[in-house]
Amino acid sequence: MAVVGEFFADTANARRHPTVVECGWQLVADGDESLLQLSTYGSDQRASGKKVSQTLQFDREALVALIQIARQSFPGLE
């Protein structure tokens, strides 16, 4: 679980993951700024109850970069 500092284009082979999970979001106050927190939850098939698997936090600068990556990756995205 971490605050994302920067992005880079990964060249490793990747495939779609077989499991679909839920993702919660919330704003986290951090002094004068806010962080967007995304938390994924284990699949419905998980033996234990619903709980957070991973959490990432993004400050404004990281979100701007992520939006640019999304627009490059999915042309026509507004």
Biggest distance spanned by C-alpha atoms of the chain: 40
**Strand pairing class (2-3; 23-30):** unpaired
What residues are paired with 35 via a beta bridge?
28
| CATH fold label, 20-73 | Transcriptional Co-activator pc4; Chain A (2.30.31)
Strand pairing report for 33-41 and 23-30: antiparallel
What does pLDDT average to in each consecutive run of 10 residues of the chain (78 residues)? 94 93 95 96 72 93 96 92
Each residue of 24-44: b (16+ CB within 10 Å) or e?
Answer: eeeeeeeeeeebbbebebbee
Q: How high is the pLDDT of residue 51? A: 84
- Domains of the chain, by residue range, sit at 20-73
pTM of the predicted protein model: 0.84
Residue with tokens 């490059």: 72
